[in-house]
Structures are given as structure tokens and as C-alpha cells.
A = this chain, B = another copy of it.
Amino acid sequence: MVGQLAADSIERRSGVSLWRQIADKILHAIAIGDFAENAALPPEVALAERYGVNRHTVRSAIAALVQEGVLRAEQGRGTFVLSRKRLSYPIGARTRFSAGLQGQALERHTVLLASSVEPASHRVAEGLGLARGTDVIRLETRGEADGRPVSRAAGWFEARRFAGIDAAMVETGSITASLARFGIDDYLRQSTMLSARHADAADLADLDLQPGAIVLVTVAVNVTPDGQPIQFSESRFPAERVELKLSAL
């Protein structure tokens, strides 16, 4: 189905490039409901013919919309409208993955992607209050809600104190539960730095994103209630699927 993608109002030498006009037409068509979420757009050649432009001009328009997070293009399959609903991920004094998404997703869990022991880099050492080069365990995890990846995190823990936390993570599927095995019943978020950037290749793969997607990046230190640093973490959230709700920290 093609809907109301009329070619009439495409104007040459109007000061607005053709590809931008076509991108705006597609946006409008989506806005008025001509294309539902996850619906396929007509193929590039069909759109090109419809608008009376070259296929490359349509490609420029689609590329812009992919980049803006509106469409997803899949080689050999087609171009699809992305879903726009976002989860609201709370960040505060007690930031917990599963508890935070309660009520927003039926099923939440964390999977361990990789783990390793490595010498602490400068920023990890500083965050954990260790000497640079001290052995730390790195856990790479992915958070999923209702089957969709919503976060990708690297967490660093002092290796001597938390030996075996990787195994605990595999068993329990939860950082909080794993820490409990080491006698950590409670922990607090000490500091959080927040930035945003385009997803890199690893983000694209692990979070199932399209090139050009944006990730929100938090760098945080978790401490015990008496202020002892236990975890340094860097988390990436796909901006198209998650927004962050900052609460009392």
C-alpha cells in the first residue's frame, strides 16, 4: 500500500533540495497514518517514479530519515517505519535494571555477553579508588525488555574482592543478585556522567540498531551505603527506545 504520497507538491529550484522535500513528504505520510509502525515503504524505484526523480534522490531522502531514526532500511528486504514508543529508565540513588522497568515491560532480564579480567585503566582505577593496573573483572551485559535490547553495559569490579562474580551473573541473571552473594545488600549511585553519541559497530550489533542510531551513554560509580566504591560502569541506551528519568540521586 502506498497511501497519499502524491507527487504534486515537489518543486524544483524552490530553494529546498528535492531529497529534503521527499523526506518531509514521507514524514508527513507517516504522521497522518498512511504508514503504520513497522510498515514497509514502497521500494526505492517505485518512490522515484512516483516523485519523478532519480532513485538516488529518493535514497538521499531515505538516508536522512534513517539517520533521524524514523526509518530502518534492510538490504534485500525493504525500508520500514520504526516504532516510536520509548521506555522510561529511572536513574537515581538506587538504580536497578529490572526493578526500574517494572510496569513498563512484562519481561526484563540481563544477559552476560562477555567477561574478562584486566588491569584497571586510568578512569576505572580512579572511579573505584584503586591503583592503576590493579586487576579488575569486566562484565559486558545486555539488558532486554520484552525481547528488545534496551541497554548495553560494561561493569568493572575489583577482581580480588569479587572473584567469581561472572559465574554468579550467569546463574542469577542480575548484577544486584550477584553482588548480594558478596555480602552487598544495598548499593547507591555516587556519580553519573551523561553524554550521547552515534552508536559504534559494537553497539549496532549488540543493541540491534541501524547505522546512524544514537546511544545515550552513562558513566557511573556505585558505592556501598558507607561510601566504598564497588562498581564502575559505562552503559549505553538506544535513544530511540529509551529515555532516562532522573530522580533523587
Which residues from chain A sit less than 8 Å from chain B, CB to CB? 67-69, 86, 88, 91-92, 191-198, 212, 214, 216, 239, 243-249
Q: A214-B214, A246-B246 are in contact. Are A69 and B197 (CB under 8 A)?
A: yes
**Using Cβ atoms and an 8 Å threshold, which residues of chain B touch A91?**
246
Nearest B-chain residue to A219, judged by Cβ: B243
Question: A198 contacts B68, CB within 8 Å?
Answer: yes
Number of copies: 2
Question: A198 contacts B216, CB within 8 Å?
Answer: no
**Using Cβ atoms and an 8 Å threshold, which residues of chain B touch A88?**
193
Q: Which of A91, A192, A198, A243 has the most CB of B within 10 A?
A: A198
**Using Cβ atoms and an 8 Å threshold, which residues of chain B touch A68?**
197-198
Q: A67-B67, A214-B214 are in contact. Are A195 and B86 (CB under 8 A)?
A: yes
**Using Cβ atoms and an 8 Å threshold, which residues of chain B touch A239?**
195-197
Question: Nearest chain B CB to A24's CB is how many angstroms away?
Answer: 11
Question: 15 A-B pairs, CB-CB below 8 angstroms?
Answer: A67-B198, A68-B197, A68-B198, A86-B195, A92-B249, A191-B247, A192-B245, A194-B243, A194-B246, A195-B216, A196-B214, A197-B239, A198-B214, A214-B214, A246-B249
